[in-house]
Chain A
Amino acid sequence: MRIWFHIAIILLPFAVMAQSTELLIARNKGEKVLADSQVIRTMGFARTLTENPGVPGPTLVFEEGDSAVIDLWNVSQGAPHTIHLHGLDVNQENDGVPHLSFSVHHMDHGYYRFKVPHPGTYLYHCHVVSTLHVQGGMYGVLIVYPKGSRNLTWENGYRYERDYSILTSEIDPIWHSDSVMILSHDSAHQRVKIPKYRPTHFLINGYSDHQIDQELGLYEIKKDSNTFFRFSNVGFTGNTVYFPKNMDIQIVSSDGRPLPVALHQDSINIYPGERYGVIVKSNELSQDSIVIHYFDLNNLKLLNKQRVMVQTRAVSALETIDNIAILVYPNPNNGLIRIQSTYSGKADLLLYTIQGIEVDSETIHVNGAFEWKLQEGIPPGTYILEFRTSKGLIRKTVQKY
C-alpha cells in the first residue's frame, strides 16, 4: 500500500501536465493533382498508412503549456526524414536538423518532445535536404492556442469568432519527377544536386486557381466580429497579401509573438518562413477576396496571383463540419449540379448570391451522389451553395453559366 502511495506521488506531476501526442507518417510516394490536372509525385506527411500524404501535411494543434510529442514514423522506403519545428525554439536534440539532431530512417520511429510556451502560428517541415524535401511537400502548419481557449490570440489578446490558416507555397513539377525525388538523400548534410527553380503552380493550402474555391470554399467572416487569419509562407517566393478594402485589418502578431503595436495596413509582404496573424473585421455584409501575389525574390517579377473568397455574413449559424466532405461538380455548371458526399441523412441545399440573397433551396435525403437541378431563370454568375445538415454546414462557391 505504502509503495503504491509513493509511486502515485512520483507520477502525480506527470498526470496533471497536459501531454499531447501526434503521429506523422513520412511517405515518399504521394500523388497530387494540380489545377491543370497534371499528377505529380510528392513527399509528405500523413496520419494513417492508407491516406495519400497531403501537401501540405495535417495541421498540428497544441495548447500553450502542453508537453508535446510528435511520433515521426518513416514509411518511405527511401530517404531519412525529420521534423523541424519552425519557430518553436526547441532544444538542439529536437530541432530536426539531421546532422545536429537525429534523423529517422525507413521503418524507424523518432520522437520529438518539446514544450509549447507561446500561442501562435508555426510551421513544421523536414530538414533533410530541406530545399528538395520541402518542395516535395513535407511541410505543414502548427498552431498553438492559448491555454483553454480557441477564440483568443493569446492571453489578454484579441478575441475572435473563428480562425483560418492560409499557407502559401509553390510547385515546380520538374522537381517532382522521379529522377529528382527518388534520390536516397542521406542525413549527413551531403551535397545534393538541385535543379533550377521554375515554379508553375502557386498554392494556397495546397490548391491553386479553380481548386481553391472548390476545395477551400468561402472564408466566412461574421459581421462586427473579429476573424483571425494566420498567414504562413513556406515557399521559395515572396508574397504580398492584399486584404479586402472595405474591411478593418489589424496585423497583430508575427512568428508566434504579438507585435508591440498592431499595424493597420491593406497589404503585407510575407517572405519565406515568416508568419503573420491578422485580425479582420467587417461592419457590412459583403463579398470580397484576399489576393496573394507571388513574386520572384531575385528580381521582384510578379509570377502569379491567387485569391480566396471572403464573405461577411450576419449570422454564423453553424460551424463548418470538418469530417464531412462534399464534392460539387461540374463547376462551372449549366444549372444541373452533381453532389457527392460522405454524409447520409436529411440535408437542406441552399443557393445564395454573393450578396447573401437566397435564390434556390431544396430538402433532400442524401445517400451518396445525387443531382440538384436549379430553378429556371437563375442568371449566370457566382453563387454560394450551402449544404446544411444536422451536424453542421459546408459552403462551396459555384459558377453558373
Chain B
Amino acid sequence: MSSKFKAIKKLVLILCLAFGYESFGFTVTDTLYINSGKLSLGLQDSLQLTVFGSSENFDGRNTKFKLNPNDILDLIIINLDQHTHKAAIQGLNETWETLNTGDSAHYILTFQDEGIFILEDLLNDKLFSYAGLSTTIAVSKRFSKDFHWNIKDINSEWSEEISNNATAVAAAEYEPDFFLLNELRNPGIDLDSTAKVRGSVGDTLHIYISNTGNAIHSIHLHGYHATLIYSSGNQVRLGWEKDTYGLEPGESIILEIVPDKTGEYPVHDHNLVAVTGGGYYPNGIFTTMVITE
C-alpha cells in the first residue's frame, strides 16, 4: 500500500471524526482470494466451486461486504486459481485488471449511494458465474437489523468442468441441480447468522437479496408482506408490498419487513424445484424467519 494512500486514509479518518462518518465514510480494508475447491454441503453432497474466499485456504464461501454510503473499500484481490480471471463490479467506474494465476490487484473503491453491488468475473461471458464466483457488496444507510442473501443456482457437472477446465457452456441448456443461499442450503442456511432472519415484533428488518446465479428465482415469504425499498432492476416496483418477489440473474433488492406477530415463518423459492438439492426435497433455498415478542 502506497504511503500516499495511507495519508489519504488518515485524512479521511480525521475528517470523519470531525464531521461524522456519514459525510465521509470509513475505510474497510480486506483481501479476497480467488480459489477453487470442493464445498461439502452435507448429506454426502459436494460441489466444485470457485469463490472469492476470505483466506488462502478454500472454504467454499464468497466473502460478502456491508458498507455505509461514502465508505471506502480498500480491496486486494489475489488470484490463487489455475485460471485467469477479471474480477469487476459492473457500473463502477474503475479499471479492472485481468489476473493470471498468482496475480493480484489493488482497488480503492468508493460507494456513494445505497445499493447492492455484485463483484464477479467478467471473462468469457461471466463463465465462472456458473461455478459460483460472484459475491455482493451491500451499501446501506439504514440502522436496522439486516440480513444478506447471495442466491445461486449451480449445475454440479458444469461447475466442476468450469472450475477444473474452464470449459465453455451452452447457456440455453442450463439446468441447475443445486440451489444455494450464501453457498449453503436447507438446513445449513439456518446456521448462517448473516442470513437467518431473527427479530422481534415491531422491528424494522431489512433483507438484502442478490441473485448471482443464472436462473430466475421467485422468493416467497410466509407470515408477512415485505416492502421493496431498493431494486437494481425494475425501479417501477419500488414501494410495492408483496409476499413474492421474482429476481432475475444479476438483480438485487432490499426488502423491508416490520413483523406484526410472533412465530417461525418460512422463506423459500417458489419455483419449488429450487427447494430441492441434488434431486432431494427440501435441500434447496428454504429457511425460516424467527420473530419473538
A-to-B contact residues, CB < 8 Å: 84, 86-87, 89-93, 95, 97, 100, 129-132, 134-135, 189, 191-197, 236, 238, 254-257, 259-260, 263, 269, 271-274, 297-301
Contacts and interface: CB of A to CB of B under 8 A. Distances in A.
Interface stretch (B77-85, B89-97, B144-152, B271-279): B271-279
Interface string B211-240: 000111110101111000000000010011
Interface stretch (B8-16, B31-39, B66-74, B173-181): B173-181
A274 B271 contact: no
Contacts of B174: 298-299
A136 to B, nearest CB: 11
Nearest to A270: B246
Contacts of A259: 240
SS of A interface (majority):
loop
Contacts of A100: 264-266, 288
Contacts of B288: 100
Given A191-B280, A299-B173, A272 B240 contact: no
Contacts of A195: 279
Given A97-B266, A191-B43, A272-B271, A260 B171 contact: no
Contacts of B114: none
20 contacts: A84-B222, A89-B224, A92-B264, A130-B282, A189-B282, A192-B280, A193-B279, A194-B280, A195-B279, A254-B240, A255-B241, A255-B243, A256-B225, A263-B236, A271-B244, A271-B270, A272-B218, A273-B220, A297-B216, A298-B175
Residue among A97, A195, A301 facing the most chain B CB atoms (10 A cut-off): A97
* 8 A-B pairs with the lowest CB-CB distances in the bound complex, closest first: A273-B270, A92-B263, A271-B246, A271-B218, A273-B244, A131-B272, A255-B242, A272-B270
Given A92-B223, A257-B242, 18 more contacts: A92-B262, A135-B272, A189-B282, A192-B280, A255-B241, A257-B241, A271-B216, A271-B270, A272-B272, A273-B218, A273-B244, A274-B242, A297-B216, A298-B153, A298-B174, A299-B174, A299-B215, A300-B216
Contact of A130 (B216, B246, B275): B275
Contacts of A299: 171-175, 214-215
Given A87-B243, A298-B176, A131 B283 contact: no
A87 B269 CA distance: 14
Interface residues of B, number: 45
A194 B225 CA distance: 30
Contacts, number: 132
A196 B278 CA distance: 10
A91 B215 contact: no
B222 A95 contact: yes
Contact of A95 (B173, B244, B265): B265
Interface string B241-262: 1111010000000000000011
A257 B223 CA distance: 15
B219 to A, nearest CB: 9
Interface of B: 43, 153, 171-176, 214-218, 220, 222-225, 236, 239-244, 246, 261-266, 269-273, 275-276, 279-283, 288
Contacts of B153: 298
Given A257-B242, A272-B270, A238 B281 contact: no
Nearest to B261: A91
Contacts of A297: 215-218, 271
Nearest to B220: A273
B239 A274 contact: no
B272 A134 contact: yes
B175 to A, nearest CB: 5
B246 A274 contact: yes
A236 B281 CA distance: 15
Contact of B281 (A92, A194, A257, A298): A194
Residue among B171, B276, B281 facing the most chain A CB atoms (10 A cut-off): B281
Given A189-B282, A260-B239, A273-B244, A130 B272 contact: yes
A273 B217 CA distance: 11
Given A91-B263, A92-B263, A298-B174, A255 B273 contact: no
Residue among A93, A255, A301 facing the most chain B CB atoms (10 A cut-off): A255
Residue among A130, A263, A271, A298 facing the most chain B CB atoms (10 A cut-off): A298
A89 B272 contact: no
A365 B176 CA distance: 59
